[in-house]
Amino acid sequence: MDEEKVVTVEPNLGYFKRGDDFGSCLESTKGDVVEALRLHSEGLKEDAQTLSKIADALEGISATAFGDTHVITIDMPENVANKLLEDGLAHKDIFEEDDEDNEDEDDGEDMDEEEEEL
C-alpha cells in the first residue's frame, strides 16, 4: 500500500498580534472601547470555530503540528488538507511551497553568492 503524501497547511485565522488586532478594532470603532472589545471577541469566536472544525477533520488521523510566535502549521494527509483548503479553513504553508520550488535547484551555491553581494 502506498503511503499517502503529507501536506503542511496553516489554519486561516483572522489574528496575528493581539495588540495590533485590537488596535485595528479600536480604530474601526473610532475609539469606542466597548464596541472594539465586542468586535475583537467576534473575530476570536470565528477563529475558535475554525480551529474546532480543523480538529474535527483530524479526529482519528495522524497529524503533527508546530506553533511558534506568529505561525501554526499542521502536517496531515493530502486528502484531508485538500478538504480544509476547499472549505476555506486553511491555506498552504508558504514555506512548503518554497521548498517544493527549490527541490529542482542546485545545492544553493548561488544563494551564497547573492549573500556576499549584499
Residue 74 three-state SS: strand
Predicted pLDDT of residue 93: 77
- pTM of the predicted protein model: 0.73
pLDDT along the chain (118 residues), means of 10: 82 86 94 96 95 97 90 94 97 69 50 47
Predicted pLDDT of residue 116: 46
Predicted pLDDT of residue 55: 97
Predicted pLDDT of residue 70: 80
Cell numbers standing for residue 67: 506553533
Residue 69 three-state SS: coil
